């Protein structure tokens, strides 16, 4: 299909997301095609490793097709639920793929782009990498296993990334456990050539280098102290009293959906105690299902993506107005609609 290309050459099954004008954002057909091809390549002796990259020079993937989700949410549809169910199956399959799965996380890697890369076995970043989970800015909550990854980052760094919805560098991603190897962008073509005759580990030994220092690692002291609080309100109180960098983070958080912030914090704390990625994906599916029917999600996409006025009218408008009962609803059991893992 035109939106995603598949090629097998010299033992490498290459997946190239091919929507450069849309920053390679994922649609349902792309996800289904990737699921089918990865399943076929599992037992294909001609494929010894898989590589995923993005067409164009702007990045791997900017996430899901948010406009399609917006249209679905506005009309009360359910197509997004089917998309998420299959997308999460893809994330789970990648996480336990029996062959090396290399993700070239060059340029922008956001939302769903994290889901098709950061669960792989060999995750490669460059000096151009900008990686993030921007969901709280659109009234949503990190998904595609994002709460699994961020809840397992050192200290409270993952909480900081999730609540601010900011992007992080390649070195930050390595420090947080979202990536493994740093390769200069100018050496990526040489790495790809080497994969034709070498194992992924041997090729990376040739071209990976020590990553520059992580900015997040340097800020860990104030981040850990501020974000260890049990509520978003207390986190903000600590941030405002924590110095210039902390106060800047507080302002970023205060612009986000109060409901999404509270749901995200609970999701992160819960994900940290869940046993594996699939259990976290099941929780994220419950949250996503509820979010699809919420006015909050529609308003967030309208303000940031559709009208681009950057002035969302959140409801509830403040953190104290977000009742525990409202947050609880995002985690409610879905009955027969529960996400059922990788089995189709």
Give the active site residues.
Answer: 64, 112, 135, 143
Asked whether 90 and 26 are in contact (CB, 8 A), the reply is: no
- What are residue 121's phi and psi, to 5 degrees? -85, -25
Classify residue 108 by burial, with Cβ atoms within 10 Å: 0-12, 13-18, 19+: buried
> What whole-number distance in Å separates Cα of residue 284 and Cα of residue 11?
35
> What whole-number distance in Å separates Cα of residue 102 and Cα of residue 89?
18
- What are residue 228's phi and psi, to 5 degrees? -75, -10
- What are residue 229's phi and psi, to 5 degrees? -65, 160
The two structure tokens encoding residue 155 = 């200290």
- What are residue 105's phi and psi, to 5 degrees? -95, 55
> What whole-number distance in Å separates Cα of residue 86 and Cα of residue 144?
10
**Tally of residues, the chain:** 344
* Torsion of the alpha carbons at 57, 84, 341 and 47, rounded to the nearest 10: -30
């Amino acid at each position: 299909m035109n939106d995603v290309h598949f090629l097998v050459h010299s033992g490498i099954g290459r997946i190239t997301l091919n929507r450069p004008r849309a920053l390679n954002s994922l649609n349902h057909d792309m996800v289904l095609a990737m699921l089918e091809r990865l399943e076929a390549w599992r037992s294909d002796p001609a494929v010894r490793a898989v590589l995923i990259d993005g067409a164009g020079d702007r990045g791997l993937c900017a996430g899901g097709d948010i406009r399609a989700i917006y249209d679905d949410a506005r009309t009360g549809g359910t197509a997004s639920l089917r998309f998420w169910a299959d997308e999460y199956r893809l994330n789970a399959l990648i996480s336990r793929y029996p062959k090396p799965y290399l993700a070239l996380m060059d340029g922008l890697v956001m939302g769903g782009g994290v889901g098709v890369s950061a669960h792989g076995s060999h995750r490669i970043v460059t000096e151009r990498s900008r990686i993030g989970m921007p969901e709280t800015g659109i009234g949503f909550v990190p998904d595609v296993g994002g709460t699994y990854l961020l809840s397992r980052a050192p200290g409270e760094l993952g909480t900081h990334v999730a609540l601010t919805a900011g992007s992080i560098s390649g070195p930050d991603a390595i420090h947080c456990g979202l990536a493994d190897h740093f390769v200069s962008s100018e050496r990526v073509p040489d790495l790809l050539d080497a994969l034709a005759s070498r194992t992924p580990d041997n090729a990376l030994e040739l071209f990976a280098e020590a990553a520059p220092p992580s900015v997040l690692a340097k800020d860990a002291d104030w981040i850990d102290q501020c974000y260890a609080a049990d509520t978003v309100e207390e986190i903000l109180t600590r941030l405002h009293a924590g110095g210039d960098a902390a106060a800047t983070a507080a302002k970023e958080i205060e612009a986000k959906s109060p409901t999404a912030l509270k749901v995200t914090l609970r999701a992160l704390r819960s994900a940290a105690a869940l046993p594996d990625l699939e259990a976290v994906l099941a929780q994220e599916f419950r949250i996503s299902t509820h979010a699809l029917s919420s006015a909050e999600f529609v308003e967030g996409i309208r303000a940031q993506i559709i009208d681009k006025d950057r002035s969302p009218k959140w409801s509830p408008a403040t953190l104290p107005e977000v009742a525990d009962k409202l947050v609880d609803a995002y985690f409610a059991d879905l009955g027969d609609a529960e996400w059922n893992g990788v089995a189709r």
